[in-house]
Amino acid sequence: MANLTIIRTGSCTTPTIAESLPGIRESLKRRAAAIRYYLRKIEPPIAPGMMYRYSVTAARWEAVRLLIDRGSSTLRALTKKIGLGTEPVGSRDPHAVPNVTAHGGFLPHDPGRIICDTWQEAAVGW
């Protein structure tokens, strides 16, 4: 069972699960291992702990990028089908993703927008 940590940032308190390798999907474990493999060849050598943290973070980053590249059209379609209000294309809101998020980058109707200053604060614990 993962440890639960409460992080207080500004006016928003968000629960977050302390991460550990056993909680990572197998595909992310394999990608992180592949990243560590090529990092071992870099001179000067990278400290093992730093290499581990980088490899896990980089593998997750790639997974998120794939979700964005492959899944944004699906999320847009579902958002439209459900009828959730979003920022329109051409919005000047720098945090909004047109036809996906509402003002400020929050998911439509996200209660986190009431207690958190940013969508990032609301999303941290999830």
User: 107 versus 67: which is more confidently predicted?
Assistant: 107
Distance between CA 56 and CA 98 in Å, rounded? 30
Maximum mean pLDDT: which of 12-16, 17-21, 69-73, 108-112:
108-112
* HSE-CB for 93 with a 13 A CA cutoff: 19
In this prediction, residues 29-47 reach a mean pLDDT of: 92
Mean pLDDT of the chain: 75
Indicate the pLDDT class of residue 24, thresholds 50, 70 and 90.
Answer: low
Indicate the pLDDT class of residue 17, thresholds 50, 70 and 90.
Answer: very low
Distance between CA 16 and CA 12 in Å, rounded? 12
- Global pTM value: 0.49
